[in-house]
Structure formats: structure tokens, C-alpha cells
């Protein structure tokens, strides 16, 4: 009985992550085709920068967390996850202002920079929500929020 619940939960996890990835890709594709060539190029550049910053903000921290909490209690896992969120908050405060300043110096409007900032943080947290579910099944609401 326990094994079948685990397999069913994993299927839901994979399905939700696939839907999130599909809808994100569909959004980028639709936006790209609705824009003029110049705007589509700028949009593609923004999408690339957002992806790179989202990856860079994480430092693949999740792999480190998995190693540290393997075989530990749920309390230890949750404590480590909260420590990691504090790390991300500090990292946001250090890395994102530098990236935003570089964008403004490069000629991007402050309004666009603010929007990109929100998307970068959202993208990073959506990826981390998926990874959190791998450690603690009670994090499913985070993954569903990322899907929405």
C-alpha cells in the first residue's frame, strides 16, 4: 500500500513539473511570435538573462542540501530548507542589484528592470519549489503555486 502511494505521488510530481515547463515554454513561444523581430530579439535576450540569473542565484544549492539531509528527520530537512531560503535572500540582495544596475547602465528602462527582477525571483523560486518537493512532500503547495 505504501509503495503504490509513493509511485502515485511521484507521477503527480512529474506531471505537475511537466505542465509547468510546457506552459512556460508555450508562453515564451507565443510572446516571441506576437512581437516584431527587434522586440522578439530583445525578449529572447531577456529570457536568456533570466534563465542564467535564475541558475546563478541557486548555485546548484539543492544538490548540497540533498547530501546534507540524506537519512535525516523531517525536522532537520525543514530546518535546512529554511536556512537555504535565508541564503537565497542574502544572495538576492547582493547579486540582483548589480544585475539591475548593469541593465540600467545598458539602456534598459527601470520599469523593465523591475519586471525582469520579479520574473527572475519567480523563476528561481519555481525551480526551488520543485526541488523542495523532492525533499519534503509537504512542499507540494509550493509546486502547485509555481504551476499557477
What is the spatial distance between Cα 69 and Cα 80, in angstroms, rounded to a whole number?
Answer: 8
For the segment 86-99, what is each residue's pLDDT rounded down to a tens digit? Answer: 888 887 888 778 87
Q: What is the dihedral of CA 43, 95, 54, 58, to 10 degrees?
A: 170
Task: Report the half-sphere exposure of 54 (CA within 13 A, side-chain side).
Answer: 19
pTM of the full predicted structure? 0.64
Question: Region 96-118: what's the mean pLDDT?
Answer: 80
What is the spatial distance between Cα 117 and Cα 104, in angstroms, rounded to a whole number?
Answer: 12
For the segment 2-61, what is each residue's pLDDT rounded down to a tens digit? Answer: 566 666 666 777 788 788 888 888 888 888 888 888 888 888 887 888 777 777 776 666
Rounded (5°) CA angle 29-31-34: 110
Burial of 91 (0-12, 13-18, 19+ CB in 10 A): middle
Amino acid at each position: 500500500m505504501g509503495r503504490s502511494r509513493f509511485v502515485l505521488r511521484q507521477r503527480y510530481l512529474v506531471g505537475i513539473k511537466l505542465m509547468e515547463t510546457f506552459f512556460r515554454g508555450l508562453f515564451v513561444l507565443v510572446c516571441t511570435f506576437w512581437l516584431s523581430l527587434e522586440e522578439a530579439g530583445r525578449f529572447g535576450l531577456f529570457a536568456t538573462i533570466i534563465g542564467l540569473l535564475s541558475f546563478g542565484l541557486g548555485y546548484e544549492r539543492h544538490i548540497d542540501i540533498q547530501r546534507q539531509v540524506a537519512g535525516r528527520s523531517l525536522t532537520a530537512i525543514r530546518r535546512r530548507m529554511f536556512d537555504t531560503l535565508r541564503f537565497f535572500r542574502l544572495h538576492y540582495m547582493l547579486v540582483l542589484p548589480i544585475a539591475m544596475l548593469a541593465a540600467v547602465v545598458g539602456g534598459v528602462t527601470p520599469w523593465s528592470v523591475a519586471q525582469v527582477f520579479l520574473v527572475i525571483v519567480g523563476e528561481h523560486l519555481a525551480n526551488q519549489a520543485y526541488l523542495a518537493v523532492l525533499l519534503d512532500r509537504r512542499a507540494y503547495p509550493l509546486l502547485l503555486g509555481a504551476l499557477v
